[in-house]
Structure 1
């Protein structure tokens, strides 16, 4: 007796089951891949957004620092300008006493009939232009300047007749002594 078993329908069923399982696995892998891709894309998008926020914060801080640097440079320029003004004021303050001593010495040495028309000073060197009625008054004036303790010996640079012919125009230079400037600074 021979029994024949037909295994063809069973094999067909097995094949269909395996094919279905394969398609389910491929579909599951596709879904898993899509989900994984979407997750990675979201992760990178979050990283990009966080980096953009950091960049915006850094740019804002850089802008504020640039403003602070500009303010600091303006403050430094103002401080430098104020320092220069302070030095100028101190110089003027010390020269004030020297100028007062100079004008006191010049006023105390004026001879009758002599008129100073212009007095200028450059450092300790003083230039004086004036008018006198005669040459005798000019020489008396120069002697009185030389006798003044606040002034040195005058150097006469020119004497000429006045345009009207009534007197003499003269010009001399003299050094203001350091004793006069230091004495003027003491009070």
Structure 2
């Protein structure tokens, strides 16, 4: 007996293939959506974490900026206090400068040299006087250059030959001079004075 299938089997096979294709396509789309969602969620988490770190860094930077401003203000206040302290110390030290000036001149003024006037402007002193000869003026300059602890940089401004006394045998030749010398600050002169005093005291038999 011969059996003949009269149903459209080719159409049915194509329908099954089509249904299978759409099922696989739907599963692929669903799987792709799940993977895309997972990747998106991971990236969103990374972005949120980085944003949190950025906010934390910005907060810390703002704190550091405030601390830096406070430190800068403190440094300015410290510098101002130091400047005031230095000004007060200079004023206190400058009160004794005339005493040191007169003491140094009395100690280093050679015989035959007489001062007629002196004028102080800040740390500069102008000395005007009369010497028996130019050699006496040179000796005064050497004494102030090498032996003085408070007077430095002596500079001869002018020296002029002149005559003094009455006419005749009593008339003498002298040298009128003016020189400028600088006074040391006490903070600079004190170490030099103490350093120069030690060797003199250490020499045996020297009073």
TM-score by length of 2: 0.45
Higher strand share: 2
TM-score by length of 1: 0.49
